[in-house]
Amino acid sequence: MGNRRMFKCKRCEQPTISVFDKYKMGLWREVHCSNCNARLADNPVVLGAFHFLAYVQMVAWFAALTYIYHDSKYLLYIVAFWIVFDILGVLLVPMVVLRPKPLST
């Protein structure tokens, strides 16, 4: 396994982030770098805009077409676009380094 399929940590620049980790960030999860232990997440502004502009608009559009034309093939388009958006999100949404959690006192 080469490092080409890994994403670089935003803090230490080491290729420690797997595609699956990056995908989890797209689900609003945080991921810890195995090298520097930074808390990493997808940029919430970009991710939020992406979810609203891509997923919500797309699902609303094809759901409307399904309703208007009574044709369930549009539901398959939702699944297809959903997968495409997931891949685009993994590739395009930038990472941010989160602040360390405050120590509980």
Tell me how far, at minimum, the Cβ of 22 lies from Zn ion, in Å.
Answer: 14
- Which residues make up the interface to Zn ion (CB under 5 A)? 9, 11-12, 33, 35-36, 38
In angstroms, give the least distance from the CB of 15 to Zn ion: 10
- In terms of C-beta density within 10 A (0-12 exposed, 13-18 middle, 19 or more buried), how is residue 20 classed? exposed
Give the span between the Cα atoms of 80 and 43, in whole angstroms. Answer: 24
Report which of 82, 78, 44 is spatially closest to residue 61, judged by C-alpha positions: 78
Nearer to Zn ion, 39 or 51 (CB): 39
With respect to Zn ion, which residue has the nearer C-beta, 7 or 62? 7
Nearer Cβ to Zn ion, position 10 or 47? 10
